[in-house]
Every structure is written in C-alpha cells, then in structure tokens.
Amino acid sequence: MKKTMTHTALIALPLALVLTGCGQPSNVSFKQDVLPIISKHCVECHLPGGAGHEASGFLVESHASLMKGTKFGPVIVPGDSLSSSLYRLVAGEVDASIRMPHGKDPLSQQEIAMIETWITQGAQNN
C-alpha cells in the first residue's frame, strides 16, 4: 500500500502543476500586474513627446493605446503572445538592436512571463 501512495503522489504533483499553470497567476490583471511593468520600463520613451512615441507612434498611456499599437500596426494579438510584437520585443526574441527597452536593463523573466500570460489570456482591460 505504501508504494501505491508514493506512486499516486508522484503523479498528482505534476498534474497539479499543469492544472495551476506551473505557478503563474490564474488571471493576470492589466491594472495590477501589467500596468506597473509598463510604467516601470516603457513610459519614459512611449508617452507623447518621448523618443519611442516619435519613432513608432506607440503610446503606453492606457489599455486602449496599448491595444492600438504603433503607426505600423498592432503590437498585441490577444490570445497569441508569440504573434505579439510587444511580447517578442521585451522577451528578446528579436534582433538585439530593437529589443525593448532600448539602452536599459531588460525586463526580468517574471515580468516577461507576466506579459506573456496576460496576452495569452486575452489581453483584457481588467
């Protein structure tokens, strides 16, 4: 009987991790989780008059402006982080010359994962 309990525990733990998203928050909030990251890393350049806004037209002053994207098109594809330029730029999945934020420390792995999860969950204004 002891072997059965150990075997069950070995199966239950990975299953629990899969069902809970491996430690990621079950519902990422734009206002509580994503906006602080954007404020910390992006507002310096992507508010009106900033170099990033002048170059790309990308504003980070609200959920609506994030979803609008740049003068070249959207940067967020709700539900698809890998097709979202915002995620790819901050995750470093692009040429180093265009990685965001320019000339600054990159986002932490936790911050990148938070943005990825938010986008995957639909990039809601919550």
Q: What is the pLDDT of residues 59-111, one digit of tens each?
A: 999 999 999 999 999 999 999 999 999 999 999 999 999 999 998 999 999 99
CA-closest candidate to residue 34, choices 63, 11, 2, 57: 63
Asked whether the whole model's pTM tops 0.85, one would answer no
Confidence of residue 54 (pLDDT cuts 50, 70, 90): very high
CB 72 within 8 A of CB 56: yes
CB 59 within 8 A of CB 53: yes
Looking at per-residue confidence, does 9 or 44 come out higher?
Answer: 44
Q: What does the pLDDT read at residue 23?
A: 53
Q: How far apart are CA 104 and CA 65, in angstroms?
A: 23
pLDDT surpasses 70 at 21: no
Give 34-46 pLDDT, tens digit per residue. 999 999 999 999 9
Q: What does the pLDDT read at residue 11?
A: 39
